[in-house]
Amino acid sequence: MSGVQDWMLDFAEYVRELLPEELAEPFLALAHPAIRLSIAEKGATTVGRLGGLPRLPEGMPWPRAGDRGPAMQFLAELDCVALAAYESDIDLSTGGTLLFFATWDCTAAQVIPLPPGAVRVPEREVPVRGEARVFPEVPLAAVTEPSWPDLGHPAVLDAFGSLDAARELVWDRMVYPDDEDLDDEDPDIGDGGETFAWELELYDQRRKRPGPQHQVGGYSDALQSLVETAAASAAGLRPDDPGFAAEASQWVNLLQLDEDNGMIFGDGAMLIFGIRRDRLAARDFSQVFPYVQGH
């Protein structure tokens, strides 16, 4: 296992037990590190927070939807210096902090980058009381975990040539886990094999940390459409357009927020802040794409 990053060790071993080498390696090449966020326990290293007041710099207006729209709700703050200690597939290493806002219906969002050493006002009232809810302030801790693409992701198409081939060769492939890896009391496991896609779901359930799915970078959760393909559609492209897959591949997950700490985005929904790779590289957060994934 030499050369395999710590966050990949367990996952790579699991995949290699289920797939032959000629399929396991291209699938593992698709895996990306994601920073999983959770409410920090006492004494834990923190990388940001949910809720509270944003503590904006003096003179910076509270974000609104448009010039005269409603005030946005402050959702989260990320400390880019602290996050740099955790491996991810997006680069936030320039330091400073990111403040995340969205309207109550998540149709508009804003990310405000603050440079290192920015002088911030300790407290500031919400512009109009009751217009934007203030959530309790809770600190966030982090850990790097593996993430992998949904079958419909453009990266899968690139790796296997077609989605049909990927489905047949990998996702719908019948696999047979080692007996020692099975839980005899797990009602979801039959006597025979299961599809590899189902085994991936079981891996999620058994081996990843429980709790809300807050995440920086990596592949976001795809309860419905992918944030990447939703962003390409929002840009005016259709799935059968030649440039659709290329545009979709330019988008990444900046932050995924699950329902937690009083924040509700829909019916068991998540709010994903998508951003283009080139804008992230340029530290241009002016055109983030807010996308709600719900049931």
How far apart are the C-alpha atoms of 212 and 193, rounded to whole Å? 30
Q: Which of 253, 234, 286 shows the shortest CA–CA distance to 88?
A: 253
Confidence (pLDDT) at 188: 46
**For strand 138-147 and strand 174-175, is the pairing parallel, antiparallel, or unpaired?**
unpaired
Cα–chain center distance at 43? 25
| Architecture of the domain defined by 6-293 | Roll (2.30)
> For the purposes of burial, counting CB atoms within 10 Å of the CB of 170, is it exposed (0-12), middle (13-18) or buried (19 or more)?
buried
Dump pLDDT digits (tens) for 65-87: 988 888 899 999 999 999 999 99
Cβ atoms of 293 and 222 within 8 Å: the answer is yes
The domain limits of the chain are: 6-293
Q: Are 23 and 173 in contact (CB under 8 A)?
A: yes
Q: Specify the amino acid at residue 273.
A: F
Q: Is the pLDDT of residue 104 over 50?
A: yes
Distances (CA, A) of 117 to 74, 81, 113, 266: 21, 12, 12, 36
Task: Tell me whether residue 75 is exposed, middle or buried, using C-beta atoms within 10 angstroms of its C-beta: 0 to 12, 13 to 18, 19 or more.
Answer: buried
Answer yes or no: is pLDDT of 186 > 80.
no
The span from the CA of 109 to the CA of 285, in Å, is 10
Element holding 36 (H helix, E strand)? strand 32-39
Does 180 have pLDDT greater than 80? no
> Given pLDDT bands bounded at 50, 70 and 90, which one contains residue 177?
low
Q: Say what percent of the chain tops pLDDT 90.
A: 68
Work out the mean pLDDT of the chain and round it to a whole number: 88
pLDDT of residue 206: 80
pLDDT at 184 over 70: no
